[in-house]
Structure 1
Amino acid sequence: MVKTARTTFRILETIKAKDEVTLTELTNEFTLSKSSIHNYLKTLEHDGYVVREGNTYRVGLRLLDLGGYARYKEPIYQSAKEEVTKLAEETGEMTNLLVEEHGRGIYLHRANGEQAVTSDSYIGHRVYLHNTALGQAILAHLPNERVDEIIDRHGLPKTTENTITDRDELFDQLERVREEGVAFDDEARLVGLRCVAKPIVNKEGEIEGAISISGPTSRFQDEHYQTVLPKKLESAANVIELNINYT
């Protein structure tokens, strides 16, 4: 590990977590001297990665350039964004595209229909894989050894009363997802929110990502939740997989 590089990114992540910080507040988060933290901030400010406003610092938009480029270079983003947007227009709900990287889920694209509810996620937001329908759809199509590695690294933290926190229970759930071809999230990450997800698999049988439809428990009920929405996802997933495999 390059210690200075790691410290730089930890500083950026700390600023992001707190929205904005002062030099003193940031110094209290690290074992480095105030002058050292100041030097990091001045360098990041000079290169456009943080912005200073008075006595506070916030994340700069130059990071958006890196993130936007990374998303643009993801083949599944180019193949799926239009279908995910159409799905939101058709259902009126919130739709999502998620991929796995370093054992976490990353939102690459999302769209809101007319009835869509708001949530805490956004483009680039990283989430655990075990407590979302999107994540479970991806985990179900990874080798068991890889799933074990992800659990060992990130654990199975509990975010609601419905979160699966037991390894064996999660593997049983992933088997059901493989058999049914669809994953359901019944308030496993956010209270009041349900989600239905389908995996996106290439012609080699490798998982590329997953798409989903999310909405409030009051609307995601019975046949609509269990049958209607999965069929809409299946249709969209079929188009995306064709785009990936033959474009």
Structure 2
Amino acid sequence: MADSQSSNCVKTARTTFQILEALKRKNEATVTELTEEFDLSKSSLHNYLNTLAKDEYVVKDGKSYRVGLKLLDLGGHARHKQRLYEIAKSEITSLAEETGELTNLLVEEHGKGIYLHRAHGADAVKTDSYIGQEVYLHNTGLGNAILAHLPRERVNEILDRHGMPASTENTITNRTELFENLDQVRENGYALDDEARVKGLRCVAVPIINNNDEVEGAISVSGPTSRFQDERFREIFPEKLQNVANVIELNITYT
């Protein structure tokens, strides 16, 4: 769905960021390859890329351009300005060491989930996710833990804007079914992701709720289905996460 504020956007600024997104998606690209995606002449695209390269936001390697590390500086600054990250990161790291699995901290921004922190235990699996990555909220345990504690109208706004694409055969793509699941998440106090975004991966997530009953983010433990079975998946990990969330919530209140 089109952004309701698109009429107020500066076209050249939007094009600049769309070029950066295209470079991220392609890993790297030449001017000719980008011309296939944009309704711009080669000379115009060349001007955009040269400007970005001069300001060090992209790197030119031969005829190809790629996203530069200067953007990492902006992202790192944004992350360190998140109070939840500063409060929760040590707890997330300790949880990874205790469980041996992959632990995560996610927040919602503009209707998507953003990974703020991840920690790998001794047996943690490698996944496609990374710090700063955007993910849909409807197909992750972390996202469901957050959506369950947002007002219904806000959830509908997010779904209207971003849709409910399927990542696996277990992804919920029906709005009614999703709301039923969110009701269950609120009742249980935790969300279960049973291969909803990544085949073979399960995740248990709980929300972080501040003293004003507002959801600030969510934390999770993720691992292969072979290790996330029965009691460990439905009892042990939910309890561990709720204990950690309680500590984080107290620190949010009194820090």
| CA shift for structure 1 position 147 | 0.3
State yes or no: 1:38 paired with 2:46.
yes
Quote the Cα distance in structure 2 between the aligned partners of 1:182 and 1:66.
32
In structure 1, what is the equivalent of residue 168 of structure 2? 160
What CA distance in whole angstroms lies between the structure 1 residues aligned with 2:67 and 2:251?
A: 35
1:152 maps to a residue whose letter is: D
Report 1:1-247 matches (<5 A).
1-247=9-255
Report the Cα offset of residue 55 of structure 1.
1.0
TM-score (norm 2): 0.96
CA distance in 1, matches of 2:133, 2:181: 24
Distance in 2 (alpha carbons) for counterparts of 1:199 and 1:242: 13
Secondary structure of 1:123's counterpart equals coil
Instruction: State the secondary structure of the residue aligned to 1:100.
Output: strand
Structure 1 runs of 4+ off > 4 angstroms?
none
Give the partner amino acid of 2:51: T
Structure 1 unaligned runs (5+)? none
Task: Name the % identity.
Answer: 69
Aligned-pair distance for 1:214? 0.1
- Structure 1 letter corresponding to 2:49: L
For 2:3, the equivalent position in structure 1 comes to none
Kindly state the Cα deviation for residue 167 of structure 1 after the two structures are TM-superposed: 0.5
Q: Secondary structure at the match of 1:84?
A: helix
Q: Name the TM-score, length of structure 1 as normaliser.
A: 0.99
AA matched with 2:150: L
Residues 7-35 of structure 1: CA deviation (Å, up to 9, x unaligned): 00000000000001111111111110000
Measured after TM superposition, the shift of residue 243 of structure 1 is 1.1
Structure 2 distance, partners of 1:85, 1:56, is: 38
Counterpart in 1 of 2:4?
A: none
> In angstroms, what is the RMSD of aligned CA positions?
0.5
CA distance in 2, matches of 1:242, 1:46: 46
- Pairwise CA distance, 1:62: 0.6
Structure 1: how far apart are the matches of 2:164 and 2:249? 30
- The CA distance in 1 between the partners of 2:128 and 2:152, in whole Å, is 30
**Separation in 2 of the partners of 1:70 and 1:7?**
22
Gap regions ≥5 residues in structure 2: 1-8
Hey, what's the Cα distance between the residues in 2 that align with 1:126 and 1:32?
Answer: 27
For residues 164 and 54 of structure 1, the distance between their equivalents in structure 2, rounded to whole angstroms, comes to: 44
Deviation at 1:163, TM superposition (A): 0.5
